[in-house]
Structure formats: structure tokens, C-alpha cells
Amino acid sequence: MYYWSVGTHLGQNPVAPHQKHQGLKQKEKKLPVCASQKRKRKRKNSQFVTETPRPAPSTRSPPRPAAPLPSARPSSPHSRKRRASYPILISPPFFSAAAGQRHATRLTPASDPLLTRHPEMATAAAFSVSSPAASAVAARSKVFGGVNQARTRTGCRVGITRKNFGRVMMALAVDVSRFEGVPMAPPDPILGVSEAFKADKSELKLNLGVGAYRTEELQPYVLNVVKKAENLMLEKGENKEYLPIEGLAAFNKATAELLLGADNPVINQGLVATLQSLSGTGSLRLAAAFIQRYFPEAKVLISSPTWGNHKNIFNDARVPWSEYRYYDPKTVGLDFEGMIADIEAAPEGSFVLLHGCAHNPTGIDPTPEQWEKIADVIQEKKHMPFFDVAYQGFASGSLDEDAFSVRLFVKRGMEVFVAQSYSKNLGLYSERVGAINVVCSAPEVADRVKSQLKRLARPMYSNPPIHGAKIVANVVGDPTMFGEWKQEMELMAGRIKNVRQKLYDSLSAKDKSGKDWSFILRQIGMFSYTGLNKAQSDNMTDKWHIYMTKDGRISLAGLSLAKCDYLADAIIDSFHNVN
């Protein structure tokens, strides 16, 4: 550790308490001086630097100073006989060889009136960082012509005076990041797939990781009805003013009617609280914050497996969750008995997160009869159903058919949470448009719930974006465009069904082991759960350049008919040759 004293030598130099404790002797460094300096020293007005060696590494780190280092009594800055001394503690971090203990870097000027005259010194005084990388800052004091200097990491020498002390200390501080203790986050298991795909130079590569629709040429697709809606918006010359916290009123009306049916009594009776939010993730996160605040003891039940971001959302909101059985690896189908048993065993009043249609990642949905049984159990246990509806109209091609599960629960008079997204069915991935809907038992309850959702949204994102909301409102609100949208959804869903059938045909024809691949046809939506484990999925990527999530999920929306044979070869090789 080094103690720098800038100012006039006043006699006894400050010594750190731990140095006294260890019995270290303070030795004043002898410096060559000229005749003029000797005369100044005789007048006790010379500048000096006292360097105390750092103690050898030991198994125990030296104790910190118990109190700020003493400074001399301040005097008039115009006095030539006595000037105040300003000791600064510079403790570069290092790893002790014996204990490997990291020490903190602290730049701490002792208490002195100079801080009030030079605010930058107070800023420097507040600087503190703990990092092994900071040890690269060689804060060594040298004397050249009686002027204190410091050497930075780049080797630059900086002269230290009374006036530039704060700036010099901050310059040294720049070499040491306050964020050295922040670890690198792991890559996202879904979005990280696209990053790895882009880095691959193979012409055979396929990106089956991210759920985004592609044409038969594997190109991004913008719906024609979306282009028409945007052209209509340009013709109207609409502005970019802020939306209210609850979002665009026309969008909220359209999305609730699309979800529940325009003639549903709960809409006409004012029982639905709807807020435009940031697509599916934002809607789920807003609902999670509501649960955490008003149902702090409740637990959320999540299917096993589920969409990769569900657990992140509830973890971030500090909402406890547990899993219920959903996927049966033996049949590559729904473990319905396990699902019912886990929901029945959950604490009364739990929130049950359900996928409205096209379960992600399995593509396995309950039958209408199974949905009835699920509703019975949830109602008996006084649970709260919480639907994630991300693929309405995109799974089967029918908006009404894909909303069956939600409407069933609402028809039974149950209070329901529903998160909606328009990323898939309208292709508005980057617009981040969605909604959170809460069906309540009375209009006044819906009003209170909506007011609290707005209260939570205000500090979270203030208000939602307008562009995507206007697209949805224009498409749903115009009968002609609404009809065109339904036709385009049928075409997109139909292409995925054709790809699913082609993949099944290729697997059945190429695999001579007799394995039954019919589960692929029983799944629905843009995803297929292949049943491949992590090692087999890694083989798909490393050997065949097919990028997918490690749980064996593939996005059929990113597959073309021409690539089905190649994908079938990769799946068969990985399934039979990789344990």
C-alpha cells in the first residue's frame, strides 16, 4: 500500500494501522536534491513522497484502517511556512498467493477543507472498486524535480498537484471499471441459436430454432394485409403521439373481441380488463408483477416442458413456480394423467399457466374432452387459469378453433388471465404488440384490476408502442382486410401442415428400424418435438449444420419441402447413432 502526501512536510508521516500492527518500520525514501531544494527543506517548505512497502502476502489479509488518516491542521493557503498535508490511500487490488483473497481498490483522500474548495476531489474520494483487473493500474509514486507523479496502465506519467488532484485520481480511476464484478451472462437458449447459425458458413445449414414463419424459399414473410394496413396509416398521416398507459382503445376492443368472441356477454357486461402490452413476453411479465403484488403467497404451475422464457419471467418477478407433468417421452404425447394429478395436488388458489393452443415446445394439445376435465379440476381446486395465447389462428388456421380453450373457461364463469401476442399470426415480430386480458366477476372488479395493471405498467415501460397496435386495429376493424387476414393465416398454417406431412413421409421411408414417427402428425402448430436429447441435438448441429434448441424442438416454419429429406437423414442418424 502506498500513502501519498501532497503538501508540506509537517513532521510525522502517516502510518497505516495495520503497518503498526505488523511492526513494520517506516522508512523515508532518500531523494537526490539540489541546493535550492536543500534551502527549501531548511525552511520546511519542500515537497516529499513517503513510500511504505506493501507487506508480504499472508494467509490473512491486513486489517483495514480503523479511522481516516490524520491530516495536518489546515492553515492559510498563502502561508509559506506551513501548508496542509493531504494524504491519499491507494490500495491496488491483488490476489494473495497464500489465501487468494481479493482486496479492494480505494482512493480515499483524508478529511480536509480542500474537498469543499475542489468538488472533483470529493468525487474521486467516493471511487471504490474491487477487481483483480484493477491491479494493472501501477499507481507508483516517483519524484521528478520534487513533483509527485503517478504512472497509469498505459505508462503515462501524471504530475499531481493540489489543484489537479481530483482530476488525476479520476484519470487513474478510468483505468479500473466499476463493472469488473459483473459476470458474463450465458447466451439465450433460443435467440442464441440464430447467432450460431449466422456464424456458420455451410451451404447446408438450417435454422430451426427460432419460431418465425418463412416462405418456401426460407425468406421472411410480411403479410399482404399488413402492408395494406400500413399504407392506410400513411395515407391518413397519423402522428406519433404518446398512447395512454392502457394503450390504443381501438386495439384493446379488437383484441378482446378476437379472443373471446365479439358477442361474448363478458365483453358487453364490462367484465374484461384489457391492457395493450409488449407482445407476449411483456403481457406475461405485467401479469407476473400483478400476481407478486396482490397474490404474494400464490404459486404458478408451469408445464414441463414449456417455452424457455416462462421461467425467466416469473423468476424475474420473484413469483414462485413449480412444474406439472405434460410431456410423456415414452409416447411422445401428452401425459394427461400426470397433468391432472399435479394440478390436483397443487396448493389451493394456485395460478395454472396453460398454452391456449399449439403448445410450445411440444406441439401437443389436449383434446376438447381433456380441456373439459382440466377445467373441472381447476374449478374444484379454486385455481386461477392463466392462458398464454401466442398462436391464435396460426395453429389450425381458424381463429375460433384456436380460442376454444379460453372461451370454455370463460363460459364456465371462471375468472381468467390471458396473455396475447400478434408476433406469429400477423407476423409483427418486431412491433412487440400484444395484450393482457383479465376476465373478472363484476365490472367494478375489472375496473380495479385495470387500474392496478396501469399502475404497474407505468414504471415498467410507461406506455406501449403505437405502430403495431394500429395495424391490428385496422386489420380486425375492417371487414375486407379481416377476411384477407384469415385467408393468409390459412395459407401459412397449410404450408406448415404440408411440411409436417412431408417430414413424416421422409422419416417413414428412410428409417428401416420400424420406429413409429406418427407423433409428428399428431402435433400441431409451427413446432415439432422430435424426442431427441441434448447429445443428439448437438450432433444435428455439429455434423449436419441444423440449428435447433437442445430439448429437441424444431420449428417447421423454418423448413421447406425441399429440405425435408435432408432433415430426415439428420434425425435418423442422430436418433440411432448417438446415445
Q: Which helix (H) or strand (E) holds 322?
A: strand 321-325
Residues in the chain: 579
| Burial class for 406, CB neighbours closer than 10 Å (0-12, 13-18, 19+) | buried
d(CA 176, CA 240): 42
Q: For this structure, is 424 an active site residue?
A: yes
d(CA 494, CA 500): 10
Give how far Cα 275 sits from Cα of 114, 193, 300, 407, 517, Å. Answer: 55, 32, 21, 19, 42
Q: For this structure, is 544 an active site residue?
A: no
Nearby residues of 429 by Cβ (< 8 Å), 6 or more positions away: 212, 423
Gyration radius from the chain CA atoms? 34
Q: For this structure, is 4 an active site residue?
A: no
d(CA 539, CA 355): 30
Catalytic residue of the set 112, 388, 402, 551: 388
Q: Which helix (H) or strand (E) holds 192?
A: helix 191-199
Q: Which three cell numbers stand for residue 573?
A: 442418424
d(CA 147, CA 168): 14
The three-class DSSP label of residue 261 is coil
Q: Position 177: which residue type?
A: S
Catalytic residue of the set 4, 228, 307, 365: 307
Cβ-based neighbour number of residue 279 at 10 Å: 24
Catalytic residue of the set 112, 342, 402, 424: 424
Q: Which three cell numbers stand for residue 459?
A: 414504471
Catalytically annotated residues: 307, 388, 424
